[in-house]
Amino acid sequence: MVDTLYLAAVTLLFVPWVYGLYALARDGKNRLLPLVRRYLRGRRRLTEEAEAEAEREEQERQLY
């Protein structure tokens, strides 16, 4: 009797904890991961633009 009650109580406490981990993973996948990807894409674009500008300036200097 006590073992069954203990097992039921542990199960009832374990289920919300597991759901919380699932919700955290889902939020990370659906919210945080796209934000990180967008940030990295923007940083990469800025770096490429800076490199292109530096190359353009170097070519202009060589022409004159």
Token look-up 């990180």 returns: 36
Token look-up 């981990």 returns: 21
Flag whether the pTM goes above 0.85: no
How many domains is the chain partitioned into structurally? 1
Which range of residues forms the domain containing residue 58?
Answer: 1-64
**18 torsion bin: left (phi>0), alpha (psi -120 to 50), beta (else):** alpha
63 pLDDT tier (thresholds 50, 70, 90): confident
What per-residue confidence (pLDDT) applies to 33? 95
What per-residue confidence (pLDDT) applies to 49? 96
46 pLDDT tier (thresholds 50, 70, 90): very high
